[in-house]
Chain A
Amino acid sequence: MIRIKMIANYRAVLPPEAKHGVIEIDVPDGTTVYEAISRFDIPLNDESVIVLNGLTVDMNTPLKEGDMVTAFSAIAGG
């Protein structure tokens, strides 16, 4: 089981059972960050920021049990 978290408008791609923008999904062993996030309808280019457990990583990094992949739109500022 891993967790997928979507922020702000990206939450729209999650199923209704998501809570606070987070859902849990089962993925086969060896699934990468890219493969997991590809299941969701968000831009997989520089319009999105995708992090693994809050860290900047290679998108080919394989996932471990309990990992959280987070994605948000790179339309930014604070």
Chain B
Amino acid sequence: MYGWHLKLLRVNLTTHKVTTEDVDPQIARDYLGGRGWAIHYLYKEMNPAVDPLSPENILIFATGPLTATPAPTGNRYMVVTKSPLTGALAHSNSGGEFPTWMKRTGFDLFIFEGKASEPVYVLVNEDQVEVRSAAHVWGKDTHETTDILKAETSAEARVACIGPAGENLALMAAIMNDKHRAAARSGVGAVMGSKNLKAVVAMGNKNPPLHDTEGMRAISVETSKNVGADVKKGSNMRIYGTSYVPQVTNTLGILPTRNFLQGTFEHVHNVDGDALKDQYLIRHTPCYRCPLSCGRLTEVPDGPYKGKGEGPEYETISSLGTGCGVSNLAALVKANYLCNEYGMDTITTGMTIAVAMEMYEKGYISEELIGMPLKFGDHDAMIAMIKKMAYNEGFGKDLAMGSYRLAEKYGHPELAVTTRKQEFPGYDPRGSQGMGLLYATSNKGASHMEGDVAYEEVFGVPVKENPHSTEGKPELVKHFQDSFALIDSSGLCVFVAIRYVFDKNRLIWPQTLATMMNLSTGAGYTPEEVMKAADRVYTLERMFLIKAGSGPEWDVLPYRMLHEPLPDGPAKGMVAELDKMLPEFYEKRGWDEKGYPTKEKLMELGLPIN
């Protein structure tokens, strides 16, 4: 086999024992790679009911068969584990350079088990694997940690690490790589912190051999040309990244504003992509082998929010910005830098602060408890809360548990806008019905990155769907969930895959991706086979959820979405109509009317029945 190394590295952090194992080629093929391989191992090796912050939880870093190949954006990896935020599955994706360097160690997967007695980091330099003391970097932020570990290993190494938030087990802690890239969601950084694992350092020269190097080169050149043509025409991405999206969602009335009390933000022009471009943009900064280049280096040159870093992206603007009613762009950019340095998911961080702001304004929590006033729009208070969360100080202890637990603790669970206890991203499902179904059924709790039907409902890619309609959405959500499972397993980035690798005709979407995977691996997949494998991955994840206690009873939307109509904008008066979609969705997935995969479906996919 090619493309995959068919090798995994297993590090037991309790004993410091390091082992390597071969991956069964049939498993490799059936589960694609990346996210798919990870759920195979997690389901096989771990009781899904374990405490996510105990040594029994397993933490997996997983690359795909297109990672470290010439395929444009073949630079992704997945972090897969049981989430301490949701109690369900965590699978968080990141790009940059670390994933490619990880694959070049000669291993497709790193599996971390147990818990180190003292802080450690793991160095993987091909077959040289060492568990080293991290005492000297414990307590340091992600940027300092990265610099120190590169200095003491090699300038050629790449680093994935946690910051103070992960060390302090904040449930929104991220794993940062290459300083600015995040496997952000679901508290994966807290799992790393619970294992006393500060960082993973990867280096090596073992590029995976390819089945058809020339073919891969040709298809990569063609894809890059397509991207280049769009860039020439004036693609938004190099200038704006995703920061232009607030204007789009504001126009549609689905921009999370003040904890979803509204769907439009009156000061949106202060925090949109043009404001960012005009005031703070320096240049675009691509991930490895990315022709699209949506990352952007920015700088606030002076003043109280002085700093330099990357972003913010849309999801940060819609959470720490509009979600909190914040219209001070410099403060918002600074908040994003701080989240990256402390190692925090900006969505959960921002939307948790937003819930606290609403609770404060309604008199449910006091200034005395918080330590300061916390009104919507108070950007200095927002920044102060981020620090308190990362360091678990005072009221920060409550915030660090996420908005679901915060709202529940103080008697107002109706204010938390979550599914499976994870905060919503930046598309209000009252005005984008398919997103509501997606959030309710996502294996990782509310997330746009598990089947982002906003591509169609909001952006018209590849087909424009009416966001207010529920018709056809069950099938659309199922198709997107499977497609994202495929992309996450392949090692490509969604941005390029969705736009340039998939055909405009949804029915033959996976064709090019299957071709790329065949050129890499020689597995001879048909498009139907890769989609079936993606269905297998998605369904096995669902089985994990059921055993973890996050089954169909959690396929719900929060109170505000179902009972409080949007008060403004084009979707005024609308609520999320989940009931109209959920039964048909279960049917499309081959699950019974209660939401459990049927025996027939499990057999069809070759999955274990129990």
Contacts and interface: CB of A to CB of B under 8 A. Distances in A.
A43 B256 CA distance: 29
Interface residues of A, number: 24
B245 A78 contact: yes
B459 A76 contact: yes
A75 B252 contact: no
Contacts of B459: 49, 74-77
A74 B461 contact: yes
Nearest to A57: B466
A51 B247 contact: no
B495 A77 contact: yes
B464 interface: yes
Interface stretch (B113-121, B368-376, B448-456): B448-456
A7 B275 CA distance: 12
Nearest to B459: A76
Interface string A19-51: 011000000000000000000000000110101
A7 B251 contact: yes
Q: Which of A5, A8, A53, A74 gathers most chain B CB within 10 Å?
A: A8
B274 A75 contact: no
A22 to B, nearest CB: 9
Interface in B456-473: 458-462, 464-468
Interface residues of B, number: 49
A47 to B, nearest CB: 8
Interface string B489-509: 000001100110000100000
B252 A78 contact: no
Given A7-B251, A11-B274, A70-B251, A75 B236 contact: yes
Interface in B253-310: 253, 269, 273-274
A12 B277 CA distance: 14
B251 A8 contact: no
Contacts of B461: 74-76
Interface string A62-78: 00000000101111111
B234 interface: yes
A73 B234 contact: yes
Contacts of A54: 251-253, 569-571
Contact of A72 (B237, B247, B504): B247
Contact of B455 (A46, A51, A76): A76
Interface in B401-453: 425-427, 448, 452
B570 A75 contact: no
B498 A77 contact: yes
Given A54-B251, A73-B236, A8 B273 contact: yes
Contacts of A73: 234-236
Contacts of A72: 244, 247-248
Nearest to A10: B234
Contacts of A75: 230, 235-237, 459, 461, 499
A8 B269 CA distance: 11
Contacts of B248: 7, 49, 72
B242 interface: yes
A51 B236 contact: no
Contacts of B426: 78
13 contacts: A8-B236, A9-B239, A49-B458, A49-B464, A54-B569, A54-B571, A56-B465, A72-B247, A73-B236, A75-B499, A76-B458, A78-B448, A78-B454
Given A7-B244, A75-B236, A78-B315, 17 more contacts: A8-B240, A8-B244, A21-B274, A49-B458, A51-B251, A53-B570, A54-B252, A55-B468, A72-B247, A73-B235, A74-B459, A75-B499, A76-B458, A77-B242, A77-B498, A78-B242, A78-B318
Interface of B: 230, 233-237, 239-240, 242, 244-245, 247-249, 251-253, 269, 273-274, 313-315, 318, 425-427, 448, 452, 454-455, 458-462, 464-468, 494-495, 498-499, 504, 569-571
